[in-house]
Structure 1
């Protein structure tokens, strides 16, 4: 049994390790020359206790439960949300702020030690039922199963006709040093001026270092989209965040795309499986995807390495991740109406208590949000 995994992010490396430990011959292909770089994620991963509540039906990989301390830069205690007016709400969330370069390499190292063959600096294209390699390795290789964990612009997804739903989020992030932030809080900021169609964030990485970014959607922006100008405005002009970031200096710039529309209609076709961002395994309410990607990678590795019907993959994903994914998409579509104006965002903050906001982040539709839906459709 030969399995080719395309993409050595959290989903791909987890799938490769899982399948290799189950005795399959695994080839893990990564187009980047350096796994984990450039970083395309804020690096916030809830603690295992939070994840069990977020994904109650999922079996969490041990690599997600016990992240090595060397990969954890900081731990947070609360999540704080800011309305456009500056009013805030917070709720307890135990979180780990990880070094994604270190964490992604840790997962790839585990896959290699389990027996997977790693090929970096090499692009993989679907060529009929085979995979064509181009880069440090050239040629065509065949496999019994192909796992596409190649991100939101997945070539594997395109090859099997899987189409991402809804508009993706577009993100730009700075790593900043010299900031004066609350090291215990992961913060989200909302408002037309600061992050149209999404939110801005500050994720503390320990000491005076933080990831500061914005995620927006193109349809919410009037005229030309200048993501750098939006982030610069947030850093320099936001009444609260601007004070925290005033003396900061940018030491890295990171970009990414977040598929926040849920799973496409198809995540398995023939011998091809999709996992992680390639399959829309992202919480639409927050854009968080690493935990879901790793659960999906584990399932993909197990299904791919066992002889039998690969169609069971969709059923297993649905069983472990379907509820939270569907709930988060439903909530995001309701809240989308509010994102069109600061007044509507303020209404959300006035109607919902902090713990209800936490439920919403986790894809649970509370009664107050149903009330909000009716108010926004009037």
Structure 2
């Protein structure tokens, strides 16, 4: 078995990557959106591993290889982070344990040979963290709800506040629309406008100000696996959500709401109408994600829609490949007397890597 590393530097590289993703039987849509507009890539960071045997691709994993600003003893080092969203290795469900073990063994060897200090991975929700060679950290509880066939039973399961907000939205004359038409670029532009206004309002980091081209590419690459949901007040789109779909599971990916219309309760209205649509087309689950941290207000808001459903744990992987350099970088940046975080103490509450903490 052979581990191959490929960079994604241009449209041709990206097309080759997407063709390899499409070889797998079941594909999380997140693997198709690791980058939006390829022309915006100027740092040479994006690439992917494939584990291959006799010309067959068994495992694929995208990641960003980031150069570390600080040198150690004159040497340049790097760290690895997965693209935003659910990620980690992609493989078919019948892939043997031996292949997975060999994949991580070869990845770790590649890291050592290419001055990679550490690795941070956001795993998918399908247990693709199996046999991970680093520290597996339960990071966030993700709200995942079952779409009941009985609409009244679903309604009764909502928290009273959700039902009241929905009634208020109806009385305010809100209107719901949803599209899966990848050629409807006006809908994409409408979504983008509300999304960017929301990111501006909340003071989001620059990395979350995705371009219009990013969203156009998302719908083009996931023609059968996306939906754009809108709530209108009169003819104004006031709340939006981009949904990614894997078989019968919907993932709430990105969205936004205009602040001037909060009192009309468009968010609750949108979520319930998405469920009503999902019920009609045969989708079974709705993943709303988690909070910014466990048990915060955002998590509790999402939980009001599915208070009786069990959460799904979102795991991250954290691995120190070169302990000596990791400690040196931490001491250089943070001035720690006892620099470095022992593997046993790495947790979701510990920023990783320490030398990149804000």
The question of a shared fold, defined as TM-score above 0.5 by the shorter chain, is answered with no
* TM-score normalised over the length of structure 2: 0.24
Which structure: larger Rg?
2
